[in-house]
Amino acid sequence: MNPTDQIRAILKEHARLAVDVATLSDDSDLYEAGMTSHASVNVMLALEGTFDVEFPDRMLRRGVFGSLASIRAAILELTQGATTEAAQ
């Protein structure tokens, strides 16, 4: 599964959206789609577990988890950072 599909699967299971995840575009607002602050914490936990990353506190903001695209950008930043570190 590519990262986008993995994120969609996590959103489907944990975001408790009012609509089907499949109908959302990469830029759809997840909060408008029904994700509560409480559900967003579960999404963060599942993302950390699945991608084996830890979101630093600076990333723990509403905007970062507001859409599939912004989540993917955050994951990418963290995993690419890890690759760079391992290569050193």
Partner 1 sequence: MSELASSLEAVTRIAREVSAQHAESVDREARFPTETVDALKKAKLLSALVPQKMGGLGCGMLELATMCETLGTACSSSAMVFAMHQIQVASILRHAAHQTYYKNYLTELVEKQPLIASATSEVGIGGEMRTSKCAVQRDAGDRFLLEKDCSTISYGAQADDVLLQARRHSEAAPNDQIFVLVRKPECTLEQKGAWDTLGMRGTCSPPFSLRATGVVDQIFETPFSDVASETQVPFSHVLWSNVWLGIATGAVARARAFVRQQARSKPGTVPPTALRLAEASSMLQTMRTNVHDVSTESDRLMRDETQGTAALSSISFALKINNLKVSSSQLVVQIVNHALSICGILGYKNDSKVSVGRHLRDAHSAALMVGNDRIYATNASMLLVLKDD
Q: Interface residues with partner 1 (CB under 8 A)?
A: 17-19, 31-38, 41, 44-45, 48, 54-58, 60-63
Buried b (16+ CB within 10 A) or exposed e, 29-68: ebbebebeeebbebbbebbeeebebebeeebeeeebbbbb
- The nearer residue to partner 1, 38 or 86, going by C-beta atoms, is 38
Q: How far is the CB of 71 from partner 1 (least distance, A)?
A: 14
Residue 59 is given by DSSP the state G
- The nearer residue to partner 1, 62 or 76, going by C-beta atoms, is 62
Q: How far is the CB of 8 from partner 1 (least distance, A)?
A: 18
CB-based burial label for 11 (10 Å; 0-12, 13-18, 19+): buried
- The nearer residue to partner 1, 2 or 48, going by C-beta atoms, is 48
Q: How far is the CB of 41 from partner 1 (least distance, A)?
A: 5
